[in-house]
Chains A and B, each alone.
Chain A
Amino acid sequence: MASSLAVDLAIVDRMLPKLDGLSLVQSLRATGRKVPVLILSALGEVDDRITGLRAGGDDYLTKPYHVAELLARVDALARRGESGNAETRTKLKLADLELDRMTRRVTRAGKKIELTAREFQLLEFLMRHSGQVVTRTMLLEGVWDYHFDPQTNVIDVHISRLRQAIDKGFDKPLLHTVRGAGYSLREDE
């Protein structure tokens, strides 16, 4: 069924009535389709996440989720298809901000910016998703590989430090806070 439709992105619940979401994803992958798949599930433990991703899912979101979280992830997955080479490009660029993954050098308007290793990773993640909304959970997963939400607002502090480093002293801020959702690295019109 899914294979006969023209689909840009699939959101698959793991527990569908009369059908296992995972086998749906597996059969989709068996036909060779590269459609991005986001798996939704009430099973949120590490093992479940691994089985979900092994079955062919590109991302995994545990219920209950905020609509903003779902939208951010769908956006990230959909864009991965069109600008897929962002994963592999060595140089990332946004406005006058440049990041070189090989030399680990970051410059803004030609001026070198000193970052810690973790700040570099954080910026790299944000630049790969530039223009999109990135949630705190996505940052914890993508940068720290933590699949849980700490009680303390740890991410906010890291973001504010990064903001100090890349935006301070420049006219146009690039790192924006998206209320109720997360952050976004983008050129503001």
Chain B
Amino acid sequence: MLGVLDTSPFRIAIVYSVVFALGAVALLGAVDYAVSRVVDGSTDNLIEAEVQGLREQVLVLSRGDFIELIEQRSQEQDVRGAVYLMVDPQMRPVAGNVPAWPTIDASEGKWINFKVAVPYGDETRVHEIRAQRFPLPGGYRMLVGHDVQERQDVKHLVMRGLIAAVVMTLLLGLGGGFWMGRRILAQAGAISAAATEIVRGDLSRRLPVRAADDEINRLAREINNMLDKIEQLTLGMRTVLDSAAHDLRTPLNRLQSTAEGAMHELQPGTSGRRVLESVSVEVDRMRATLDALLRIALAETGTVAREPVDLSELVESVVDLYGPVAEERGIGFASAVSTGIGVRGSRQLLAQALANLLDNALKFTQPGGRIRVELRAAGTGSEVTVEDDGPGIPVDKRELVLGRRVRLDEARNVPGSGLGLSLVAAVAKLHGARLILDDAQPGLKVTLKFQGES
């Protein structure tokens, strides 16, 4: 599931939602700033005009009339509108709708903001007031202001909306990205699963294609066309192999039968019989080489059944088949086979690959030497090792011997077609296994590393 976070749609969605969120913050910030300026400005203008008016009134009215004027204006206004307070030199309220002179240390004539508790039905609420103060004759002082609580409320509302919008944008972006990422991941997963099957030899498999005509589906369709072509070519190859097998085996068969038939009419030991016997041996050798070549070609075209194979049982049975031969030849034979290990593939080809490895090991190990076969789990997969203490293969020739018909000079005096290891290599490739040739110091260590079942 974590893989979704690594998909490109998810990353793009994250970048976009961050950019959108920043955009939303900037936009709403700008709107808030502009609105504040207009609204605050007009409130301030109202207060300044009132201050100006009262300064003029105080000059023409007696103190009693002025107090009455203040009282009158205070009552006309609800406290959430305009605010007035007149105090005597001892700071005691004389008139107005504010309960007490705010104790704010600011010079008169400057804007002040302060909070006042106001009755609101049964409860009291704290409202914010913006005001100006100015002196009156005789040591009296005057405060004129405006309740700006509503404006603050609106501001807070806008801020909350803003935060909610940003959070929503981020969440939606994340969610959308996650969804798209999963979609892509599901398709990519299906494609890579199909590709793995194809690589393992199921050439009839095709990549899954959705109806959508996006770039991934177009790509998948193109690859499928390519696979059609490859499958066609492989089938053609298979047909050629089959007919080659038939066309070569049938005459070989006739040769074999003729030789054997003629052989039985001759006394053992006569020169004619010896000639026919060597013909028969050669035909056998040709058949073995032909079989090996065809099997390699077949394994390389990857058209072999893939059934579950109990590798533990298989290695045991090969060990069991070769063990007595090694003992008979005075070669120490040891094996360590873990149980319960399986792979998918062809039992026959795997058995033959293992048999080839043991044939080789026996061929190159002297009496008194040792051979060791091991099967063990390795990571998610497993590995089979066949080790001997024969001459080994020089490092610079290891790649070479996996090719067809390579026999090193050291092996010239040993019988064999030179195809053994190439078949092992082809079988390994067909099973998605790695074939590793190592120095057993001294000797050769061949490892077949199988990947885990996916």
Task: Give A contacts to B, CB under 8 Å.
Answer: 15, 42-47, 50, 62-68, 118, 144-154, 157-158, 160-161
Q: Which of A62, A67, A118, A161 contacts B249 (CB 8 A)?
A: A62
Listed by A's residue number, 13 A-B pairs whose Cβ atoms lie within 8 Å are A42-B246, A44-B294, A47-B305, A64-B252, A65-B253, A144-B321, A148-B352, A150-B321, A150-B359, A151-B415, A152-B359, A154-B324, A158-B324
Using Cβ atoms and an 8 Å threshold, which residues of chain B touch A67?
256-257, 260-261
Using Cβ atoms and an 8 Å threshold, which residues of chain B touch A149?
288
Query: Is chain B's binding surface mostly helix, strand, loop or mixed?
Result: helix
Using Cβ atoms and an 8 Å threshold, which residues of chain A touch B356?
151
Q: How far is the CB of A122 from chain B (nearest CB, A)?
A: 11
Q: Evaluate whether A64 and B255 lie within 8 angstroms (CB atoms) in the complex, with A45-B295, A47-B304, A152-B322 already known.
A: yes
4 smallest CB-CB distances across A and B, nearest first, come from A64-B253, A42-B249, A42-B246, A63-B253
The CA-CA distance from A159 to B247 in the complex, in Å, is 36
Using Cβ atoms and an 8 Å threshold, which residues of chain B touch A150?
321, 355, 358-359
Using Cβ atoms and an 8 Å threshold, which residues of chain A touch B112?
none
CB within 8 Å of A: which B224-255 residues: 242, 245-250, 252-253, 255
Using Cβ atoms and an 8 Å threshold, which residues of chain A touch B358?
150, 152
The CA-CA distance from A161 to B356 in the complex, in Å, is 23
Interface string of B359-386 (1 = CB under 8 A from A): 1001100000000000000000000000
Using Cβ atoms and an 8 Å threshold, which residues of chain A touch B294?
44-45
Q: Does B346 contact A (CB under 8 A)?
A: yes
Using Cβ atoms and an 8 Å threshold, which residues of chain B touch A15?
246
Q: Evaluate whether A44 and B291 lie within 8 angstroms (CB atoms) in the complex, with A63-B252, A148-B348 already known.
A: yes
Task: Give B contacts to A, CB under 8 Å.
Answer: 242, 245-250, 252-253, 255-257, 260-261, 280, 283, 287-288, 291, 294-295, 298, 304-305, 317, 320-322, 324-325, 328, 346-349, 351-352, 355-356, 358-359, 362-363, 415-416, 420
Using Cβ atoms and an 8 Å threshold, which residues of chain A touch B247?
42
Q: Evaluate whether A43 and B317 lie within 8 angstroms (CB atoms) in the complex, with A64-B287, A146-B355, A157-B324 already known.
A: no
* Inter-subunit contact B246/A148 (CB<8 Å): no
The CA-CA distance from A15 to B245 in the complex, in Å, is 12
Q: Which of A46, A66, A118, A151 contacts B359 (CB 8 A)?
A: A151
Using Cβ atoms and an 8 Å threshold, which residues of chain A touch B298?
45
Q: How far is the CB of B18 from chain A (nearest CB, A)?
A: 58
Using Cβ atoms and an 8 Å threshold, which residues of chain A touch B242?
43
Using Cβ atoms and an 8 Å threshold, which residues of chain A touch B253?
42, 63-65
Most buried by B among A45, A118, A157: A45
The CA-CA distance from A147 to B347 in the complex, in Å, is 10
Q: How far is the CB of B355 from chain A (nearest CB, A)?
A: 5
